[in-house]
Chain A
Amino acid sequence: MTVNMKKKLSESILDKFSIDFLRSQVLKNAYGNDDTVIAKLDPRVLLAWYLVVGLVPWFVSDLWFLGACFLLVLVTTKLARVAGLVLALFAVGVFSQTGYLFIVALFFGGDVSTAAPLLVMTLKVATCSLASVTVFSGLDPDRLSNGLMWYGCPERLSFSISYAYRVLPMLMEEFQNILLSYRLRGNPPAHETWTGKVRYLVYQVKIIMQAFYPLMLNTAKRSRTTVEALEIKGYRYAAVDKQVKRMKLRTLQVTTNDFLFLALSLLWISLAMLGSALF
């Protein structure tokens, strides 16, 4: 029975990891939630908020404060309606950063006392990564790159963000097509026996590597087209021109909602500080 269950489990996990699923999750994460409370906030305000919530917990070891910060970012993540895949990755990431260290420390003769400093560290890591999940998944890419640009990030970076979100679905599709054509023409080794399975795995990995050869050539052509199109529009001059930047950033507007968000966060954090001072 357990074997059966294991088989089912691995099948359902494999189902989840098809390229189509990934594509839809990434797209959903990028464009699927621009009607949330978080997405409507001004990107500049949200980035400033992230700078505080994502940085300050590193310098504080007060448990009240850390707990309050964690709850705050938990609520904002919920409000931002982040895609499930991203949250799963977050959980794995937090564990792999600190959880495994705890297990290895136990292995080397540590005991439960090892857990206390690591627990605080885990709380810090979790708070900071959830804050970044809120900001970077909650905002849609164009607003995010505009916000970053306002803070003086290089134009290259904001261009890369906008470009990446647009080109990724295409690239994924192309990669999948190449893989499928390799599979159509290829003759995979039989994989009933154990050695056959290993050979099959090696074969798969080899195909993935080889698929990058046509992909590189295709992408080279595409990136030349992209850059030439950008050049026609005078991209390299516009990127450093102050007037163009001002025109681009004119759409950003701070509203009362932004102030309310900041004030509520401040209220919550100061309540936590009061709690730690009193008890």
Chain B
Amino acid sequence: MDLAKKQAATQSQKLMVFVLTMALYGLATLFTELIPKFQVGIVEFSVEYFLFIPLTLAMLFDPLSAALGAATGELVFSEIMLGQFGGLGELEKFLTVTIGVYVAGRLVRDPKNRAMVGVAAIVGTGLQLAMGAVVDICKVQFAVEDFEAVAGLPESVFATEGFAFANDLLFSGILFCMLPTMYLVPKLYGKIEPLLGMRPRDGQTSLGGLSPKMILACVIGFVAAVASALIADGGLPLIDWEADWAESGAAFSIGMVVAAALAVAAILVIKIKARSGESVEQKA
């Protein structure tokens, strides 16, 4: 009885959802990273988004665990595992995916309602793509010095980003996010929940729609994503490195070289001593 009243799942069930989403979405992003994209003219047909996997799971289970699991899965499988970790810049992708999936998951009250599922899926995808496009535009605008001065660059950035957004939303968004989600959610509903020992989501167990608090959290997350992307791309030269050694000039650099060389020499001496000590011990 108590379980039925509780809205959220227990901690270990949340962990199950996290692990499930991470493994599945990680596998899918690994594929997308490896599948070659084929281009017809300027339209790119890429299987960019297997986003339907976390979307489906977020609609059936706890949305936050699914969203975090998806973002972590992408980070671990396709970035860290393939050695493509971009440092702070990854935070941007992490946050946008989390927000998109989470919002979509919260929107669905009744997973059996296909229309509701489809709308939520396309809203979640659109949100994620739009945030990505804004971040990208900001990034290039700040990263390249004299952005306006470079002939043809501003227009080209807006054109490519705007076109990529529309293309992704209409092509990948509908074909690879909305349709599979609409197919999978009603089919999995009531079948996959017992495997994790849960009740299917219904009017009582759903978390309710969008609340102002949640929207605020999403906006903060988005601002953090933009900020992290900009800092990662060096848009804000926090530290003026160039001035540092340009003023003190050669003397400073020579000092550094000497210090580093001394350090190397000292460490080598220590190593050789340690090794000869070992061999003496072995002989004795």
Contacts and interface: CB of A to CB of B under 8 A. Distances in A.
Interface of A: 13, 17, 22, 26, 29-30, 54-56, 58-62, 82, 85-86, 89-90, 93, 100-101, 104-111, 113-114, 117-118, 121, 124, 128-129, 132-137, 144, 156-157, 160-161, 163-165, 167-168, 171-172, 175, 205, 209-210, 212-213, 215-217, 219-224, 226-228, 230-231, 236, 256-257, 259-260, 263-264, 266-267, 270-271, 273-274, 276-278
Given A101-B153, A263-B260, 19 more contacts: A30-B81, A59-B238, A61-B145, A61-B242, A105-B150, A110-B156, A117-B145, A124-B234, A128-B86, A168-B27, A216-B20, A216-B24, A217-B191, A220-B20, A227-B19, A230-B15, A231-B12, A236-B12, A274-B250
A209 B155 CA distance: 37
A270 B253 contact: yes
A255 to B, nearest CB: 9
Interface stretch (B95-103, B205-213, B267-275): B267-275
A160 B157 contact: no
Contact of A219 (B24, B153, B259): B24
B218 interface: no
Contacts of A118: 144
A230 to B, nearest CB: 8
Interface stretch (B31-39, B116-124, B220-228, B276-284): B31-39
B66 to A, nearest CB: 12
A132 B88 CA distance: 12
B43 interface: no
B160 interface: yes
A190 B24 CA distance: 31
B264 interface: yes
Contact of A227 (B16, B76, B192, B232): B16
Contacts of A215: 24
24 contacts: A17-B36, A22-B34, A26-B81, A59-B234, A90-B84, A105-B151, A113-B150, A114-B153, A128-B87, A136-B83, A164-B77, A164-B81, A168-B26, A168-B27, A209-B176, A216-B24, A217-B192, A217-B195, A219-B23, A267-B261, A267-B264, A270-B259, A273-B253, A276-B245
A163 B15 contact: no
Nearest to A17: B34
Interface string B1-35: 00000000001100110111011101110100111
A128 B88 CA distance: 11
Contact of A117 (B33, B146, B260): B146
A245 to B, nearest CB: 18
A167 B23 contact: yes
Query: Shortest 7 CB-CB distances between A and B: which pairs?
Result: A58-B234, A137-B83, A108-B152, A110-B152, A267-B260, A270-B256, A274-B253
A223 B86 contact: no
B263 interface: yes
Contact of A13 (B36, B140, B263): B36
B215 interface: no
Nearest to A156: B72
B166 interface: no
A135 to B, nearest CB: 8
A274 B27 CA distance: 47
B105 interface: no
A166 B280 CA distance: 43
A156 B246 CA distance: 44
B85 A132 contact: yes
A205 B23 CA distance: 21
A205 B50 CA distance: 12
Given A104-B156, A132-B84, A273-B256, A224 B196 contact: yes
A108 B158 CA distance: 12
A253 to B, nearest CB: 14
A271 B72 CA distance: 39
B192 to A, nearest CB: 5
A101 B19 contact: no
